[in-house]
A and B are shown apart, each in its own frame.
Chain A
Amino acid sequence: MEAADFSTLGAAGHALLVVFDPARFVFLVIGVLFGLFLGVIPGLGGILGLSLLLPFTFTMDPFAAIAIMLGLLAATSCSDSIPSVLIGVPGTVGAAATILDGHPLAKQGKAGEALGASFFSSMSGGVIGALCLAVSIPIMRPLVLAVGTPELLAICVLGLSLVAVLSSGMLLKGLAAAALGILISTIGMDANTGVMRWTFGNLYLWDGIEVVLVALGLFALPELADLFASGAKQIAQEGTKATRFSQIEGAKQVLRNKWLLIRSSLIGVSLSSVPGIGAAVIDWIAYAHAKRTVKNADFGNGDVRGIIAAESANSAKDGGHMVPTIAFGVPGGPPMALILGAFLVHNITPGPEMLSTRLDITYSLVWTIALANVIGTALCFLFANQFAKLAMVRVGIIIPLILSIIFIGAYQSNQEWGDFYTLAVFGVIGWVMKRSGWPRPPLILGFVLGALIENYMFISFERYGIGWIFRPFVLIVITVSVAGILWAGWSAIKTAMANRSERAAVSFSMPKAKNLFTILALLVFVAALIGSTSWPVRSQLIPQIICWTGAICCALQLFMELRGGAVQAAGNGGMAHGGETSAPGFCRRTRTYVMWCTGLLAGIALIGLLPAVLVFQIAFMRLVGKERWGLILPVSIGYAIFMYMLFQHIVHVHWPQSVIGDLMPRLRSATRIL
């Protein structure tokens, strides 16, 4: 690199010139375009994109490499709200909270407003994130060093305590769901003791469950199931548009809520600078914050403020993730491991060097994040009207297309058969939860934060004994968290008491289908409680505490449900309730949906992923959608060719091995997809 003036402003200006150098700027734009594409497709996201790009960046100059990689990463969080709003399926794990209010708006025909608000929040969040990153450069190392493990633990506990807010007035269910999430996070090898927890002798489970599979299963599959079962012809009513005008209306709403935007962005930046806290929870935490602080809100039914909070925090995270990455080479989030890989290849060493002699590199990161957000958003604004047409594609076409990409996307997690099973299991869990009025966000929160809390807690005790609790920051944050939970509990009891006095006779009923999940969860907790007793204390401590908590919550919940007229069964819509169960043929169509999914899985096992997807789409469009051959064949074959080119020739997927491939090894080696 040319010798530069390494005063802060000099370096920032130099970096801007470098980024705008046409030879590099073009890479930034390519990265953004690719990122937008990956963000829109459920299951694909920044990590896949970065692992794809990494080898190509080996021969680029470091600034171009950074431009294309970070451009891609930042752009995914601009476009991932599009499927969330229009279809109710998250584009990436970070866009799940956007569904809550974005999708209802789309169903009401206000997709344009929802998209406008989400794009504008996303851009502002991204720029605020970049700004925070720039401002923090001089104090970054002392800042990160000042935060010890006990403080990290306290932050995670605070995040987890927001389960109370995300439970939609169903505290017991929320706590039990969070406990379930934590329990699921303990699956795999416990690195601390070497004990295999709940792996059942299965190598796939050694490394635990991927969060992408949890999110896709919980949120995407049930949404498609209900869309299918509702018998609707299309997602939104005819005439849904995302005109410039309606999008600008959405953007204006963001400006009217600028303080919420700034608060949520700051939440996004600060949480994401804690290693381990990533996209999957940041949007939920910001959403919970909005829910707690915004007055006269109607969250869950199309309140634009829900979108603002979730989207701005989700975009601001990239800036925050960079902090530990740059300052210490500790990846702030999963995609950052790939960015670190690029640094290594280009001989850039994170640490003091990047904050002194290589400030030009660091500022080019800042500029790239900011510019990618602006360019990405502008493109989203321009093309939103085209995307909005997605919501009017007939259900018989859109379901097989989305379902296929979810399966293909899920398979990218580990490229093993276990990915399909995991997706299916969480699909069922998500669907049952949705149907029986259980809030799903607490499960994700528990899943992500539970694992961190377990590790941080043991480190804190081992290193500081009991004394860590009395560190001032820890004391304050933990007190706030506990108070939040107690307050929610107290409110729930008060409501229950009030309703009770209105009811004269108390009668118990027999368990029904709606109690199914409560009973199942209770059984899981009891079984896990018994199953974990043989492990060393350190491995069983957290699972045991969690199982007791979960079991007690479930038992209480079941008691209230069976006593009749359970107060907690109420609760608002949003993530808890799915809506139109009353539609005629709902159950029958749900069964049909399950059979189609099972059929797709069987097809994958028999003839391989890509051929099965092709057959599935043709059959579904023909038999369910009653579409014309003239439409079916071009769409499905075009789709298959596109997937083949992308995954076979660019991603180089290791396809799942099928029965037909086992029987005909020559065919397998000739086609390489069986």
Chain B
Amino acid sequence: MRKIAAFAAALLVGGMATGSAKAEDVKEFYSSNTLTLITAGGAAGPYNILARTIEPYLKKYLPGNPNIIVQAMAGAGGLTAANYLYAKAPKDGSVIGITLPTLALNQVFKVDGVAYDVNKFNFLLSVQQEPIVVGVSAKSGFTDWKQIVEKKAVLGSTGLTSNTSIVPKLMNKFIGTQFGVVTGYQGAGNIELAVERGEVDGMAANWSGLKSSQPQWLKEGSFKVLVQSGLLPEADLPNVPTLIDIAPKDKRPVFEFYGLSNALGRVFVAPPGVPEERVKALREALLAVTKDPEFIKLAGERDIDPHAVEHEDLEKLAANTVNYDPAVVAIVREAIGAE
């Protein structure tokens, strides 16, 4: 009945009205509207699984308990989803999304097709930082990154613009390692397979992805993690140096910038212009989800790190990335060979 009434009202008002939500109660809005959660990446991708895992809890904690629809929006390395959320999605709080950690980096690098200003998004929360680790198989004979300064190690990679290639290239240029990078593998799974069959010595990998896909490598010790890319060491990699640790002092900003650019994690955003009180409600609900013991348990089973980064920190991270010393940005860009 409510739908029909809304439909009739819409016909009457036509294009004239633009929603002013100030007067409406948040609870009333979400009890009469569906919340759409857009995820960058495909229907079976980790972002979609994250969204599906969060969905029932978000419904529970958001005032009005709206129905939530998860829509996968793959394409253009996350840009399709980010651009949609920025410009086209309704700005009433009925659509939010999960975007990629490269949200800010794409803007700094002035990647073609970026049609948003990252600072104007309403950051809600982020989970799952995605540090990159570089590691080699035990049979490659390498046990320490220093050996690779002396002797070449071959890493598999999906392509020049991916982290599987960026990290070893930055290391070669600024730390003096001799990684050979073989690009062209389709997806992390195929690189892992190449490592296993000895076609390559190792790989730069997304740490959470690797833990999920090759637990036995880590258990048996057939894969040795040499370095990690985060600003701080991961809790489960206390003895593995970070790139910042091993870089010569004058090159550290390069790796700080790189670590910073990835630190957004899987970030929930609402489009710019969503009424303040709805943004606030969304933030509080998402934060409550990440503290729900039941959710934390489920997340563990699905290889999701539920540790949340809140919006103030995200805003700072994004701003710091965007405003980073242009000289350093230019050096990194050049080293990566980005267009």
Contacts and interface: CB of A to CB of B under 8 A. Distances in A.
Contacts of B42: 51, 337
B339 A194 contact: yes
A652 B213 contact: no
Interface string B59-81: 00000000001111111110110
Interface stretch (B132-140, B180-188, B273-281, B323-331): B180-188
Interface stretch (B12-20, B120-128, B240-248, B288-296): B12-20
A198 B20 CA distance: 43
Contacts of A189: 77, 161
Interface in A189-228: 189-196, 201, 203-204, 206-207
Contact of A670 (B7, B200, B302, B303): B7
Given A344-B212, A349-B215, A192 B160 contact: yes
Interface in B317-339: 337-339
Nearest to A205: B76
Interface in B32-83: 33-34, 42-45, 48-49, 52-53, 69-77, 79-80, 83
Given A338-B44, A349-B213, A416-B75, A667 B10 contact: yes
Given A54-B43, A145-B196, A654-B71, A664 B83 contact: no
Given A665-B90, A666-B9, A149 B216 contact: no
Contacts of B92: 669
B14 A55 contact: no
Contacts of A328: 189, 192-193, 196
B199 interface: yes
Interface string A40-82: 0000000000110011001000000000000000000000000
What range describes how many residues of B lie at the interface?
35 or more
Given A191-B160, A194-B337, A207-B76, A463 B189 contact: no
Given A206-B77, A341-B44, A414-B74, A669 B9 contact: no
Contact of B9 (A338, A663, A670): A670
A657 B88 contact: yes
B99 interface: no
Contacts of B13: 666
A332 to B, nearest CB: 10
B239 interface: no
Contacts of B216: 349, 351-353
A459 B193 contact: no
A182 to B, nearest CB: 16
A201 to B, nearest CB: 7
B158 interface: yes
A191 B158 contact: yes
B159 interface: yes
B214 interface: yes
9 contacts: A189-B77, A192-B183, A196-B339, A341-B43, A341-B48, A344-B302, A347-B301, A352-B216, A652-B71
Sorted nearest first, the 9 A-B pairs with minimum C-beta distance are A191-B159, A341-B44, A51-B43, A666-B10, A330-B189, A455-B184, A206-B76, A670-B10, A338-B44
Interface of B: 3, 6-7, 9-11, 13-15, 17-19, 33-34, 42-45, 48-49, 52-53, 69-77, 79-80, 83, 88, 90, 92, 94, 112-113, 154, 158-162, 180, 182-187, 189-190, 192-194, 196-197, 199-200, 212-216, 301-303, 337-339
